[in-house]
Each structure stands twice: as C-alpha cells, then as structure tokens.
Chains A and B, each alone.
Chain A
Amino acid sequence: EILMTQSPATLSLSPGERATLSCRASQSVGSNLAWYQQKPGQSPSLLIYGASTRATGIPARFSGSGSGTEFSLTISSLQSEDFAVYYCQQYNNWPMYTFGQGTKLEIK
C-alpha cells in the first residue's frame, strides 16, 4: 500500500497570505496525484489532478506541483472561503487509492 503523508497537520494563516501544503508518498506515484478540498459540513471536492492541472472552475490562485514522491499545493493569496481541510490522493496504484490524513487550513 502506498502511504501518503501530509504536512503540516494544521496551518494557521491570515487572509491574503500565501499557503503551501505538502504531501509525500511512500513510493513514487509519478504525477498521479490529486488534491481535494473539504469545507466544514460539506462533501470533498476535486481541486487538482495530474499533480498540477486545476479541475473545472477552480480559481488560478490554486496551483499544484511536484512529481514522484514530493508534492505541494499552493494558494497564492488566501480568501475567506479557502479555509478548509485539504487532502492529497494518489491514484498511481488505482483502484487502490490512498489519501493523506489531511491538512487543516485555519484562520489565524
């Protein structure tokens, strides 16, 4: 099983600041990495796939990068609606998908 590790567990920032979230895979997943956002009380939604491709309707302030085992999600200038929990997911070994444990992005 490919293990996904996200850091930090919690990130406290202010609106307008830049956020960088990290995700590490226990073995190479190529570019088969997705990011999901889950707002409180809501279902998750797809943000990024292929490590760096934004899903339909996702604002340009969200960007993904990385390949192999190291990935990051960057939010260039935080908006109030961006405070949520973010999960990375590998699908290199699909259908045996695995998720990271999540990073909670909270308002400082």
Chain B
Amino acid sequence: EVQLVESGGGLVEPGGSLRVSCAASGIKFIDAWMTWVRQAPGEGLEWVGRIKSKGGGETTDYAAPVKGRFTISRDDSQSTVYLQMNSLKPEDTAVYYCTTVSSVANPVFGNWGQGVLVTVSS
C-alpha cells in the first residue's frame, strides 16, 4: 500500500520561511516523480511544482505564483520529498499535498498524502 505522509506545517509570519516534508512508502521512490499541490481554505486545487526522479535529472518545474520562492528537493535515501517555501505571503496559506505522478504516459496524480496546513499570518 502506498503511503505519503506530510509533516512540518505550521504558522509562519509573512516574509518567513518553512520547509514541509513528505515521506513515502510502498513505492519504488527512487523512480518516482513527485508533485506538490495546494488547496487554500474553502478553495480548489492548485498545482505547485514537480520534481523528476534522479534518472530524470531531478528536474524541477514550478507554477508561476511560487517560482523563485519555492524549491522542491528529494532525498532518495530517506524516500522523502521536500518543499522549501521562502518569502511566504498570506496567499500561500493552504493545505499542501504531496502526490505521486503515475507515469510519463499518464502523468496524473495517482496517490495523495493527507496534507499539511501552512498558515501565513502575522
């Protein structure tokens, strides 16, 4: 069974930084492409960014609202993906989900974590 467990959320002031983590099990993590998706309170889903596997060069891509402020990285030895968030804004307040990318042929989000809440407020 695939499990994705996020951690590290919390309250941070505007302009601050926070790193959230996602620990994976039940998958061959070294080959997995991973994404982050967020959901502001009472709102819909917004893709944040993606990291390819080491074999894919660990290439990262980001949505426009977070590009230059957020960084995704991975530690295959720990089967963990990270989302480093800098220069946080109140509009970054959301539940952040990590997901797996099912395949290159069908790059949809096959597995989701339970999410972690990040609140940006003074």
Contact = CB atoms under 8 A, between A and B. Distances in A.
Interface of A: 1, 34, 36, 43-46, 49-50, 53, 55, 87, 89, 91, 94-102
Interface string B91-109: 0000001000010001111
Given A34-B108, A98-B47, A49 B114 contact: no
Contacts of B109: 34, 36, 44, 46, 89
A24 B86 CA distance: 34
A95 B50 contact: yes
A99 B46 contact: yes
Contacts, number: 54
Contacts of A55: 110
Contacts of A96: 47, 61, 63
Interface residues of B, number: 21
A44 B61 contact: no
Interface of B: 35, 37, 44-47, 50, 61, 63-64, 97, 102, 106-110, 112-115
Nearest to A48: B108
A99 B110 CA distance: 15
Give the interface SS of chain A, mostly helix, strand, loop or mixed: loop
Contacts of B35: 95, 97
A89 B108 contact: yes
A76 B106 CA distance: 25
Contacts of A49: 102, 106, 108
Contact of A91 (B46, B107, B113): B107
A97 B44 contact: no
